[in-house]
Amino acid sequence: MRQTIHGIYLGHLNYSETSVIARFYTQEYGKRSFLLKGVKGKKSKTAGLLQALNELQVTCNFRPERELNTAFTIESNHTLHQVHNDFRKSTIAVFLAEILNKSIIEEEPNRPLYLFLTHRLTELNHETFDANFHLKFLLELSLFLGFYPRLSVHASDQVFNLEEGLFEHEQFHSPLSLDKETSQLLKSLIQDGKLPKVTNEDRARLLDGLVSYYEVQLHLKPNSFQAHQVLKTVFS
């Protein structure tokens, strides 16, 4: 049955000279892929919509059992104009799109997660640039993915274990742990919802730590995420 599906654009793979297979996190069906024909053609009016994290509407005869559905049309639902016109924000958007694309696998609706994403993307688009936005986003997203970091009741537990997702004593810490300084930055972010005044080097170190945490928790190979390397240069 012909229907319109609402989704957040995560990226695409080239399918032919003029067509792509686009990945979306949809409100109705979770993460899904659609064949978009002709979007790379010279006369295409929709190619400009395929920018990281734009909210789009895909019209198609959707069949949930199919891995790939063919779209009739795509239209803008909410284009992140201010994000894509700001190099710093657009770099964050590309990074977050990679995180979402590799972190979310469910082909089923999750309304709280979808609402969280649309709310935070609206903030990224309209509010003043925040150099720590992506760090807070990663922490908040981990709650929806089921591995939000756990604090310890013991003040001596100051090193964060990436495997267990909790803080432990540095004398007994796991080989897969953040260093003490980075662990304390993470603890500040968890407890206060923000970071103290930090250097760009501190911010980059915490970003690397959170990306490693995602890779461990999602059982991905090291260096599965790459976009944060570009992101770090924006703040260097």
pLDDT reading at 40 higher than 90: no
Q: What is the residue whose two structure tokens read 């919802």?
A: 193
CA 181/CA 205 separation, integer angstroms: 9
Q: pLDDT of 116-127, one tens digit each?
A: 999 999 999 999
Q: Which amino acid type is present at position 110?
A: N
Which of residues 216 and 171 earns the better pLDDT score?
216
Topology adopted by domain 82-234: de novo design (two linked rop proteins) (1.20.1440)
Q: What is the pLDDT of residue 236?
A: 67
Q: What is the pLDDT of residue 44?
A: 82
Q: pLDDT of 168-189, one tens digit each?
A: 988 777 789 999 999 999 999 9
Please tell me the CATH code under which domain 2-80 is placed. Answer: 2.40.50.140
- Each domain of the chain, given as residue ranges in start order, spans 2-80, 82-234
Which of residues 157 and 171 earns the better pLDDT score?
157
Q: What is the pLDDT of residue 89?
A: 96
Q: What is the CA radius of gyration of the chain?
A: 19
The residues that bridge with 101 in the sheet, in sequence order, are none
The DSSP 8-state label assigned to residue 39 in this structure reads T
Q: What is the residue whose two structure tokens read 């936005």?
A: 133
| SS3 of residue 12 by DSSP | strand
Q: pLDDT of 53-102, one tens digit each?
A: 999 999 999 999 999 999 999 999 888 999 999 999 999 999 999 999 99
